[in-house]
Amino acid sequence: MRLGVILRYSGYILVFNSLFLLISAAISLFDSDTAWFPLVYSATISILFGVFPIIFVPPTSDISNKEGFVIVVSSWLLSCLIGALPYTLWGGAFTFTNAWFESVSGFTTTGSTILIDIESLPRGLLFWRSATHWIGGIGIIIFVLSVLPSMGRVGMILYRTETSSMATDNFRQQTKKALTILVYVYVGLTVLETISLLFCGLGLFDAVAHAFGTIATGGFSTKNASVAFYQSTSVETVIMIFMLLSGIHFGLLFLAITGNLSGLLKSTVVRYYLAMLMLGSFFVTLNIHGKIYDGWAEAFRYAVFQVLSLGTSTGFATTDTSFWPYFSQIVLVFFTFQCACASSTSGGIKADRFVIFWKAIRKRMLKIKHPRAVVAPKMNNIAIEEDTIESSLLYICLYVIIVFISTTLLTFLGVDGWSAFSGSAATMGNVGPGFGTVGSAGNFAQIPAAGKWILTGTMLLGRLEIYALFLFVMIKSWK
């Protein structure tokens, strides 16, 4: 394994991050606020450590799978580390642990926060906070590969390492074309939502920040009360529409935009994803009507927003769901685990794996009834390979075990059970808010320092889909 090659390609990531740090610094300079120096200093460090290996290490088209894994995981860790630097230098509530938590939460698009008073942050630091969402939303590696010249085998390995194993279903393109499509859809949705929010009355800064948070399905807001601050049905409607779109396979969205709507409409996963959101919204509306909200329209409004918010792993809030009936909370926990489609910006287990899970159960039941029958589960009229079924079921089991371990460790540190469980599920799914003390109207400030490090671990495991981080830790055992 060649350290120089790893440093070279990780350097591109640091340079890419520095561009957004400089934009944030420019906002601070314009406002003459206290975040200017921390942001400029962080940008300088990021540029220096990024540029030197690019200059002095020659490019190569020969890269191993092992090096690809190390580059991807190292890039995520370096980004989170450089992202924590401006917070740490600025100070305030940001100890290094808190800064690391906020940075990891941003880049992994989790949206959990340790901040009690978000609005007290300078605008430059707020922009950087939102920018980490947007950088991490579609994947740091994806962004960089899309703007670099063709990297052949290097790009292919990094792309496959970065993206979900489910992401190629229903959409097969060459690596470079797939990258370009993902970025076009991502940037296009961001621009469209920004314009829409401007028409709803938001200022440019807030519109961009909330578009970053929505399209990345992250959930960082510039307001303490999140989207509830605006008390605007038009703002909520725009955000709901773009949360819904951001949870759909971006390749299928691109095909729909370019005239091939049938691929989107016929997708088994998309139909399942939409049906579950509608079903969840229906049951939550029934449950909170009369208990929390008197009117049907009001109950429907808040139910749909929160189901979409957690069902796409966005995490924006229009109300405090910690006071909702337990039935509604359990429904929202289900969506915290499942989330949306692969090759979107959503976290969680993914709707794709849940579809395979239900089909595997159906196959087992049919085999019990008819032992000699040949049962081949299909998705979009294509038989699902046994290896795909096995890997999906194993992933779900491993995912649940990690949430259980994280919950156990947090309760050992003194966190109450419901907050520990929902917080672990929310960070593992990159969703953001849980329930109890870490609910949609709360934050993670009161979690012990050790607990925050545990939760940042679950954020990274969720964002990198478990195996990449495990393989990185065990890299020396690779043959």
125: exposed, middle or buried (Cβ count in 10 Å: 0-12, 13-18, 19+): buried
Whole-number pLDDT of residue 42:
97
Would you kindly state where each structural domain of the chain is located, as residue ranges? 1-162
Mean pLDDT, rounded, of the chain: 89
3-state secondary structure 307-368: HHHHHCCCCCCCCCHHHCCHHHHHHHHHHHHHCCCCCCCCCCCCHHHHHHHHHHHHHHHHHH
pLDDT single digits (tens) 286-317: 999 999 999 999 999 999 999 999 999 999 99
pLDDT single digits (tens) 180-213: 778 889 999 999 999 999 999 999 999 999 999 9
Cβ(413)–Cβ(332) under 8 Å?
Answer: no
165 pLDDT above the threshold of 60: no
Structure tokens at 118: 């978000």
Asked which of 5-14, 60-69, 138-147, 349-358 is least confident by mean pLDDT, the reply is: 138-147
Backbone phi, then psi, for 36, in 5-degree steps? -60, -55
pLDDT single digits (tens) 419-465: 999 999 999 999 999 999 999 888 999 999 999 999 999 999 999 88
**Percent of the chain surpassing pLDDT 90:** 67
Average pLDDT over every residue of 8-28: 93
436: left (phi over 0), alpha (psi -120 to 50) or beta: left
Q: Rounded to an integer, what is the distance from CA 456 to the centroid of its chain?
A: 13
* pLDDT range class, residue 171, cuts 50, 70, 90: very low
Q: Which residue has the higher pLDDT, 343 or 278?
A: 278
170 pLDDT above the threshold of 70: no
Q: Which residue has the higher pLDDT, 29 or 151?
A: 29
Instruction: Write out the H or E segment, with its range, that includes residue 383.
Output: strand 382-383
Residue corresponding to tokens 């934050």: 443
pLDDT single digits (tens) 369-419: 888 877 888 888 888 888 888 989 999 999 999 999 999 999 999 999 999
Average pLDDT over every residue of 136-147: 66
- Please, what is the angle between helix 96-107 and helix 123-137, to 10°? 50
Average pLDDT over every residue of 122-148: 81
249 pLDDT above the threshold of 60: yes
Closest-CA residue to 74 (of 478, 471, 343, 479): 471
Predicted TM-score (pTM) above 0.95 = no
Whole-number pLDDT of residue 477:
67
Whole-number pLDDT of residue 162:
54
Rounded Cα–Cα distance for residues 445 and 87 (Å): 15
Whole-number pLDDT of residue 164:
58
